[in-house]
């Protein structure tokens, strides 16, 4: 996770981060609510930001009153005059004279205003699923009505800790991903309080930058998903038609969160706009450590305690796993019903997590087993795939109660760490070529 710093804007501290060492600066103005540090906990979000940081120096910030920045009165949350000062303060703090602006959703309106107020500091403008106005009128019929906005703000305040509805609407492609929904709940809670979220939503109703569109001097890229549920693609067509030097790109999908769905078309367009050329298309392939956990005897346990108690136990199980993942710097990929698939940068971290987990599960009356393998895997849209993942799953299935099994690859990679192993034997893993030597972790203390 990048280090968080603070820029002084008047008497308010604005939290910011800088990622990458590219030849040009890219200032990311987010929509709605953010938390600079929690956003890195979602693998899809983190990959998108890291990809942009691979060809720019990426500058991210939390708006005043949101996330890690200082709290402010509700009337200051959506004051664009104040936001101009905040963005300038962040750029000054990092020594950025000129930057490309990347505005998502409400952040696009902010970037439009900045590009008009500070053309000398705007290298280019990228509007992703952005709007120019948030209140219906005859000449802008895609915006919600005042009544709809009021109802929406009331709903946010009433059910802010229940993220499923937000996931269904803003990120439908990931709405059934339990790990994503759990992360989203944490992200929202630590980004804003219920009242702050509602106030920000209500305040943005007054944003209207339609008159500024013809005044934009910077070259502009407008990107919209065709079936976005929140910002109509027709808004994008309208905005692009009003900006003199603009390019409109319409891409498939219905996710409003830019890092959800298939991010590759969006990333390709952004990279070409900034650098003049497209990088190789990803799904990203990395060497990482995959770990599967599994509750031993889960079917019998579920039958003995009943459905309601079993659901409660699973929820508590997931909370314990996520706490340990944070401790050992693992990333939850997805739940598997009665277990979790996670990845780690280091096999030592994965083993440390796996050996600590059984003791943490004792209070729940659960026993778990783990399987670990390190290899090259494909990362795409928040998931991982490849033979290395299959091998870790097969190894996990061989483990006994409270046992941690690893491949010979993992054993060889941690030589010198003091971890000791016992050879379990050579196995033909289903669907995997050749025989594999499997080892049980016996001691972490030497």
* Tens-digit pLDDT profile for residues 98-126: 999 999 999 999 999 999 999 999 999 99
pLDDT at 200: 86
Whole-number Å distance between alpha carbons of 361 and 367 = 7
* Tens-digit pLDDT profile for residues 289-300: 999 999 988 888
Residues 6 or more apart whose Cβ sits within 8 Å of residue 151: none
Question: What are the tokens at 216?
Answer: 């934009």
pLDDT at 319 over 80: yes
User: Measuring CA to CA, which residue among 105, 110, 103 is closest to residue 125?
Assistant: 103
- More confident call, 281 vs 260: 260
pLDDT at 85: 96
- Mean per-residue pLDDT over the chain, rounded: 91
Question: What are the tokens at 62?
Answer: 């939390």
Residue range 271-278: mean pLDDT, rounded: 90
pLDDT at 283: 56
* Tens-digit pLDDT profile for residues 169-222: 999 998 888 888 989 999 999 999 999 888 888 888 889 999 999 999 999 999
Tell me which CATH code domain 284-443 carries: 3.30.70.1230
Domains 5-275 and 284-443 share a fold: no
Asked if 279 and 354 count as a contact pair (C-beta separation under 8 A), the reply is no
Question: What are the tokens at 392?
Answer: 């870790």
**pLDDT class of 381 with cuts at 50, 70, 90:** low
pLDDT at 353: 94
pLDDT at 379 over 80: no
What are 19's strand-pairing partners?
Answer: 58
Mean pLDDT check: name the lowest of 93-97, 230-234, 362-366, 397-401.
Answer: 362-366
Whole-number Å distance between alpha carbons of 164 and 269 = 30
Question: What are the tokens at 232?
Answer: 């109509």
pLDDT at 383: 77
pLDDT at 70: 96
* Tens-digit pLDDT profile for residues 34-46: 999 999 999 889 9
Whole-number Å distance between alpha carbons of 99 and 108 = 15
Asked if 410 and 373 count as a contact pair (C-beta separation under 8 A), the reply is yes
Residue range 230-253: mean pLDDT, rounded: 94
pLDDT at 446 over 80: no
pLDDT at 162: 79
pLDDT at 324 over 80: yes
pLDDT at 1 over 90: no
Asked if 393 and 369 count as a contact pair (C-beta separation under 8 A), the reply is no
Question: What are the tokens at 433?
Answer: 């070529």
Asked if 85 and 52 count as a contact pair (C-beta separation under 8 A), the reply is no
pLDDT at 437: 95
Domain edges within the chain = 5-275, 284-443
* Tens-digit pLDDT profile for residues 63-107: 999 999 999 988 888 899 999 999 999 999 999 999 999 999 999
pLDDT at 281: 55
Q: Is the dihedral of CA 250, 253, 258, 263 positive or negative?
A: negative
pLDDT at 112: 97
**pLDDT class of 262 with cuts at 50, 70, 90:** confident
pLDDT at 286: 84
Tell me which CATH code domain 5-275 carries: 3.40.50.1820
pLDDT at 113: 97
pLDDT at 284: 67
């Amino acid at each position: 996770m990048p280090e968080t710093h603070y820029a002084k804007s008047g008497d308010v501290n604005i939290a910011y981060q800088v990622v990458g060492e590219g030849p040009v600066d890219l200032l990311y103005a987010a929509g709605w609510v953010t938390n600079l540090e929690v956003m890195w906990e979602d693998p899809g979000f983190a990959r998108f930001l890291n990809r942009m940081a691979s060809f720019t120096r990426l500058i991210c910030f939390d708006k005043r009153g949101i996330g890690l920045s200082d709290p402010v009165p509700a009337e200051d949350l959506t004051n664009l005059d104040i936001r101009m000062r905040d963005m300038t303060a962040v750029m000054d703090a990092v020594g950025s004279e000129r930057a490309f602006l990347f505005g998502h959703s409400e952040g696009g309106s902010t970037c439009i205003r900045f590009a008009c107020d500070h053309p000398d500091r705007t290298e280019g403008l990228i509007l992703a699923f952005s709007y120019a106005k948030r209140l219906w009128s005859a000449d802008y019929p895609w915006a919600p009505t005042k009544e709809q906005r009021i109802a929406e703000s009331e709903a946010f305040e009433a059910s802010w800790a229940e993220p499923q509805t937000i996931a269904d609407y803003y990120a439908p492609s990931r709405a059934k991903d339990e790990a994503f929904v759990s992360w989203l709940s944490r992200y929202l809670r630590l980004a804003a309080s219920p009242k702050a979220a509602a106030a920000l939503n209500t305040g943005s109703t007054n944003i209207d930058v339609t008159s500024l569109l013809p005044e934009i001097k910077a070259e502009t890229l407008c990107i919209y998903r065709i079936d976005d549920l929140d910002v109509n693609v027709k808004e994008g067509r309208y905005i692009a038609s009003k900006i003199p030097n603009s390019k409109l790109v319409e891409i498939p999908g219905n996710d409003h969160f830019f890092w959800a769905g298939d991010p590759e078309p969006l990333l390709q367009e952004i990279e070409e706009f900034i650098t003049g050329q497209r990088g190789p298309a990803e799904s990203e392939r990395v060497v990482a450590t995959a770990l599967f956990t599994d509750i031993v005897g889960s079917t019998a346990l579920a039958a003995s305690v009943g459905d309601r108690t079993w659901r409660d136990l699973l929820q508590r199980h997931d909370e314990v796993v996520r706490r340990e993942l944070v401790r050992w710097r693992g990333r939850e990929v997805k739940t598997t019903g009665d277990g979790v698939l996670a990845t780690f940068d280091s096999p030592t971290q994965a083993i440390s997590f796996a050996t600590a987990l059984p003791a943490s599960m004792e209070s729940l009356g659960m026993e778990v087993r783990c399987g670990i393998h390190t290899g090259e895997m494909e990362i795409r849209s928040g998931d991982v795939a490849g033979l290395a993942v299959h091998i870790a799953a097969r190894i996990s299935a061989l483990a006994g109660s409270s046992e941690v099994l690893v491949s010979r690859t993992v054993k060889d990679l941690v030589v010198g760490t003091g971890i000791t192993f016992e050879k379990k034997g050579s196995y033909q893993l289903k669907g995997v070529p050749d025989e594999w030597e499997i080892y049980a972790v016996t001691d972490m203390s030497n």
